[in-house]
Amino acid sequence: MSEARISAPAVPAGAPTRAEGSVKAPAHSQTLSRGIRALEILAEARSPMTIAELSEALGVHRSIAYRILRTLEDHSLVLRDSAGRVQAGPGLAALARGVSRDLQSAALPELTALANGLAMTAFLAVWDQRDCVTLITVEPRHASATLAQRPGTRHSFSAGGPGIAIQSALTEEQWEQLASGQAYRPEARKAREVGYSVSHEEVIPGTSSVAAPIRIPGQLPAAVAVVYVRTDKPEAELGAELIRAAAAIEDELS
């Protein structure tokens, strides 16, 4: 948890590229982009889609959609059922395992302990380009109703506990260098003092979140968080639990 460990966060090359603004990059593959878009559409879909539905969603001719699907199918990224409907396939799970692999492995048992111990949804958020993105989520085992926080959920750093926690892992100077144009929130200054962040009603009306930063040497900070509607536990107690979980994850990775 020493300052030294975060003194040289990696500046992602992707961030300045994005910041260049609306000039469309010429070096971009339309075919590849369409294929990925098809996967994004299928990942969002609540049920398998017909090829006609998918072509329409993609805005391409059915023959193009078919060609994309054949290719995705070759890589196990989509599955077709007996009626010819398409859904996301098991190969995607193998690809996702490579994302911050060590961080995921270290975080999963801690998230599980938080979720079951507090009966709240616990999740790991990481820095992605200009936003904060949920990487993995664990819902509590026995709970009548919990708040889902799906992997891939994206929030601006200006809203929500995990964004504040990630900010709080950096000094204002480091933040300015990494994400100029996004304000360093007063809540992050507070979180930097107490070690955890809180947010109320920022992302979903009626919900709160508490988060603590995870500092990994040479990498951008991440955060562990819980989200809830109401709780009997004092905020400071939740904060202490999250600080403990973040420290355990850091220990595992150091």
Q: Quickly list H helices, the chain.
A: 14-19, 30-44, 51-58, 62-74, 91-97, 101-118, 161-168, 172-178, 186-194, 235-253
Binds a second copy by CB under 8 A, chosen from 17, 50, 156, 177:
17
Is residue 96 close enough to count as binding a second copy by CB under 8 A?
yes
Is residue 57 close enough to count as binding a second copy by CB under 8 A?
no
Binds a second copy by CB under 8 A, chosen from 43, 52, 183, 236:
43
CB 249 within 8 A of CB 223: no
Is residue 253 close enough to count as binding a second copy by CB under 8 A?
no
Binds a second copy by CB under 8 A, chosen from 62, 75, 189, 200:
75
Segment 160 to 219, residues that bind a second copy, using CB under 8 A: none
CB atoms within 10 A of CB 128: 17
How many residues lie near a second copy (CB under 8 A)? Answer: 75
Cα-only R_g, the chain: 20
Is residue 245 close enough to count as binding a second copy by CB under 8 A?
no
**Choice between 70 and 200, CB closer to a second copy:** 70
Closest C-alpha among 238, 216, 244 to residue 226: 238
**Choice between 24 and 205, CB closer to a second copy:** 24
- Is residue 244 classed exposed, middle or buried when 0-12, 13-18 and 19+ CB atoms within 10 A define those classes? middle
Binds a second copy by CB under 8 A, chosen from 53, 73, 176, 235:
73
